[in-house]
A and B are shown apart, each in its own frame.
Chain A
Amino acid sequence: MMKMQPIGRVLATEKHPTTIDKFCFWTDANLKLHAFDVVKVERADGSFTYGVIENISHITDAQSFLTNYISSDFGNAEINAPTLRIGMNYVDAKVSFNNKNNETPVHNNDKVFLATKEEIVAALGLDKIKNPLVCGSLRMYAGTRNEVSLPVNLDGKFLLGPEGAHLNISGISGLAAKTSYAMFLLKAVQDCGMKKNEEDDEERTTAFIIFNVKGQDLMAIDQKNECEGNEQEKEKIQKQYVALGLSPEPFKNVKYYVPYSSERSSKQSTYLNSTDMANYIRHGQLKKYKYTYEDDKESIEMMFSNIDDPQQTMESIIAKIIDENDMDFKSLTIWNEFLEKVSEKAQKSDSKGPKDEISILSWRKFKRIVNKALKNDDMFANRADKGRNECRLSDEIKQIKAGEIMVIDIAKLPGDKQSFVFGDSLRTVYDLKQDVFDNEPNVNPPDRIVVFIDELNKYAGKDTPKNSPILRGILDATERGRSLGVVLFGAEQFRSDINNRVTGNCSTHAYGRTNAIETTKGDYSSIPSTYKNMLTRLEQGEYILQNPIFRSLLKIRFPKPIYKQFK
């Protein structure tokens, strides 16, 4: 191996001392270094202290701007001086570790070197990862002859439990490619999960539930990305996947679920076109989901997740509806009867009858909300006809098998119904992993179920009412799901909008490109200011990743999606 030349020396002054955490070093002004690059410092005891670059500053001996101005003959921009003003770069680095546990600060004038590939891996804590799960690749010393590129592995147990679980991805729409990154990780889980793990005797099984919230985005994840006929691009992407140890194939074992709407109806509830739909149905890959009053009335509360209910009157009504002994509602079986009953309740009461505890005004409010949701929506039906590829979503989730991917399409549903579907599904997953359905036939859940939902802020935002059933469900999943095997991959535009208890329970955080207003929020206070500024400049396909296994934040890249893209 070529011996590395020192690139600079450590600086320690009275005002800028080196500490256990940080050090500075000077380097040539023309040397290309980048934030997140790893450097090593040679210590007197023969050990090496590794550091990650946080900031690079360029200074000259000019005492003030005025000095420079005067140096141009008091403002002549054409002047070329015969000597360049002396300048240097100094670099702030955060200590990552010392290979002999020497934690004392590095000393003034200690030599600083670039690190080798092996050293970078050790410095970032990537060398002792037990259950490797590739989460991207990183590039060091970009644009120099020492450029190093290497795959980055997470410890699967710190992403999917039981050591740590849940992922939060944030970044502005379009530029951050949040969905693509989540899908890349799911692909890695699917691929790596299928490999035999040498350390565990038994292989942990995983299934995935993915919500499609935008157009047809995730409605063809088992089909190849043809890159619009650009073979070169296609080959490049496939090579990138292979280099990261993943198969160059799209997702396997995928089933799609779209909201039911009558074929005769002019208003379809999915963006999937009829040809694709017919194709999927022919291959047994697609079902249309329905909700029936008898089985799904308990989920009605999900429609009220974003509705303020300070007097808890809606809650009282819902409690009344699902009460199996309630005189009014216990015998109802279909939505129409239910709506009629609600209408009845919302009318002026008969003065002869017993006085209702719930006011008419509350009933009217309730009626408005359920009417809006249920009326003219085919999804809320009397029964699901299995012979016509119809299903109840909960039943399908209960029967999810290891390795399966369920894509649930909610893209075309209005907000309240999206909440309804997501809330109902999450509750079913949680109950499933809590063994609530163990006595039902065909229920054999895998060890872990990963649920991916975009636009998490709709369900677990800071301004979501505290008694929202969906927020409760998400909190349950994030706080207790780690041990149960329920893993939430959530994505949102602005991380600062998300309930702190939700983000606090995520073991892995992926920060994509965001805006400057967002980075001034308290959620980003633990991120060094240089990195914060970098967040506003990240390119598509780049993320800053935080995981307890890594010794510092990592800037990673990931390849473009391997599955079909819709423009």
Chain B
Amino acid sequence: MAINSKITDILEAETGAKSYKAHKYSLDNEMRPTVDYGGESNENIWKRTMETTIYKAPIDLSFLAHKLSANEEQLFTYFLDGSRRVYKVDHQGYAASGTGSRMEIYPILAGQIGIGCCKREDKKMKKEKFITETVISVPDKADADGKNGFFPALAKKINNSSEDLQRLNLEIDTVLSYSTRKDVKNDKEYEDRATARIQDRMIEKEKEMVSTLVREEKLNQNNYLIKDGSLEYRPTKEDRKDKRKLIKFQKNYAWVLGASKSFNPSACLDINGKPNPGFIANLPLYHRTPVACFSNPSIFGDMKFAVWYIRIRDQAKTRTPFDGIIKIEKMLTTDDENMYGMDSDLVDTLSALIINERNPVCYGADLRWANHIYPMFLTENFVKSRYISTDSFLQLF
């Protein structure tokens, strides 16, 4: 194989496929695509209230927020965001079983994954950690033999054979495979499966980074981490088996909040525990909802998550009633929390601090400005700024 081969040629040669040299393009058409991964799954079991004080109405935090702001009190130090860019780079065909020359054609996707964590010091944002990965998502049939170690070897082969990659100081970190099960409604679904594999990889990397931060003991009661999006980190099998490890895992997440800009309004529960999007939509300014709780034994085991909503912008000044509302998630980590719910004072403080994060805004730079908090926006932009441009990336294939 010539050293300057394109990656699609190497794939073609190594997997015995036929490349159809499809048009290469980016699959991301939004500013930052999000794929919900079961955030408000139907299997979730909801519990109406999960905090030490029982509230019947939204809680006004404007005074507390003002007080904390005046004293410049702060608990949020770290901000984490992961994102990925997915590209369709080829269609490759594999000879179908039978005597004819029929080919089964599958999409080949590539992705750039970036996970960044920024630290806030003296009101200024600094890079704490950053990892990036370049991945390829191919159909599982690409591995003709079905042996372990095929895909890592393929990645290595590509890295050794592509001069373009070496020139850009890049390497394919992993080759992911997606299922070619035939229960698809249309061909587009293969693309979705390939994308989902890249998305899973990104989540995996996010979790790794949170673990690293925890391991390095950077997070504590004075230094919380806010993670962009939902917070559903399930413990590994090992964690579940070993009670001590599980406690440690839970303890690690005591200082992590998930802040979501977008959420499924129909899954919002009102005071009576009924789904009632209007309850959230009409949440007054600088108020939070009482804390609800959900669990999903099949996915998270015993893990429970506290969820509440905060309005940080005046409804009159946003486009839709759900603009200006942030959904906060926190893992319940202690026995007390699991039994009696979260300490309402802590929830109030965290919520008031989130309210204080309403300024500055990224109005003009991001359509979701009303739901964005600025440090998160900067972290997101930091990650984005590290991607290789689409044109350069696609030239590799």
Contact (Cβ within 8 A) A82 B124: no
Contact (Cβ within 8 A) A83 B123: yes
B343: min CB distance to chain A, Å: 22
Q: For residue B317, which residue of chain A has the nearest CB?
A: A74
B357-369: CB near A (< 8 Å → 1, else 0) gives 1111111110000
Which of chain B's residues have a CB closer than 8 A to the CB of A72? 359
B125 within 8 A of A: yes
Contact (Cβ within 8 A) B364 A62: yes
Contact (Cβ within 8 A) B374 A81: yes
B203-219: CB near A (< 8 Å → 1, else 0) gives 00000000000000000
B289 within 8 A of A: no
A45-81: CB near B (< 8 Å → 1, else 0) gives 0000000000000000111101110111110000111
Which one of B125, B356, B358, B360 has the greatest number of beta carbons of chain A within 10 Å? B360
B19 within 8 A of A: no
Interface of A is mostly: loop
Contact (Cβ within 8 A) B358 A73: yes
Contact (Cβ within 8 A) B69 A80: yes
Residue from A62, A64, A74 within 8 A of B360 (CB atoms) = A62
Which of chain B's residues have a CB closer than 8 A to the CB of A66? 363-364
B:332-365 near A, CB below 8 Å: 353, 356-365
Residue from A70, A73, A80 within 8 A of B72 (CB atoms) = A80
Contact (Cβ within 8 A) B358 A83: no
Whether A79 contacts B361 in the complex (CB less than 8 A), given A74-B317, A85-B374, comes out as no
A512: min CB distance to chain B, Å: 41
B95-126: CB near A (< 8 Å → 1, else 0) gives 00000000000000000000000001001110
Contact (Cβ within 8 A) A81 B359: yes
Residue from B314, B317, B356, B365 within 8 A of A82 (CB atoms) = B356
Which of chain A's residues have a CB closer than 8 A to the CB of B76? 82
* Bound-state Cα–Cα, A71 to B72, Å: 17
B74 within 8 A of A: yes
* Bound-state Cα–Cα, A82 to B75, Å: 11
A84 within 8 A of B: yes
Whether A61 contacts B362 in the complex (CB less than 8 A), given A83-B120, A84-B123, A84-B124, comes out as yes
A68: min CB distance to chain B, Å: 7
Contact (Cβ within 8 A) A83 B360: yes
B378 within 8 A of A: yes
Which of chain B's residues have a CB closer than 8 A to the CB of A73? 358-359
* Bound-state Cα–Cα, A73 to B365, Å: 17
* Bound-state Cα–Cα, A71 to B362, Å: 8
Contact (Cβ within 8 A) B363 A70: yes
* Bound-state Cα–Cα, A57 to B220, Å: 39
Which of chain B's residues have a CB closer than 8 A to the CB of A84? 123-124
Residue from A63, A79, A81 within 8 A of B363 (CB atoms) = A63
B:52-76 near A, CB below 8 Å: 69, 72, 74, 76
Residue from B359, B363, B364, B378 within 8 A of A86 (CB atoms) = B378
* Bound-state Cα–Cα, A74 to B359, Å: 10
* Bound-state Cα–Cα, A299 to B90, Å: 94
A376-390: CB near B (< 8 Å → 1, else 0) gives 000000000000000
Contact (Cβ within 8 A) A71 B364: no
Which one of A64, A79, A82 has the greatest number of beta carbons of chain B within 10 Å? A82
Q: For residue A71, which residue of chain B has the nearest CB?
A: B360
B375 within 8 A of A: yes
Contact (Cβ within 8 A) B357 A83: yes
Which of chain B's residues have a CB closer than 8 A to the CB of A68? 360
Which of chain A's residues have a CB closer than 8 A to the CB of B69? 79-80, 82
Which of chain A's residues have a CB closer than 8 A to the CB of B365? 61, 63, 67
27 residue pairs of the A-B complex, CB under 8 angstroms, read: A61-B362, A61-B365, A61-B378, A62-B364, A63-B363, A64-B364, A66-B364, A67-B364, A68-B360, A71-B359, A72-B359, A73-B358, A73-B359, A74-B317, A79-B69, A80-B69, A81-B123, A82-B76, A82-B123, A82-B353, A82-B356, A83-B120, A83-B378, A84-B124, A85-B360, A85-B374, A86-B378
Closest 3 CB pairs of A and B: A63-B364, A71-B360, A81-B359
A68-B360, A79-B359, A82-B69 known; 16 new pairs, CB 8 Å cut-off, are A62-B360, A64-B364, A67-B360, A67-B365, A80-B72, A81-B360, A81-B374, A82-B123, A82-B356, A82-B357, A83-B120, A83-B124, A83-B378, A84-B124, A85-B360, A86-B125
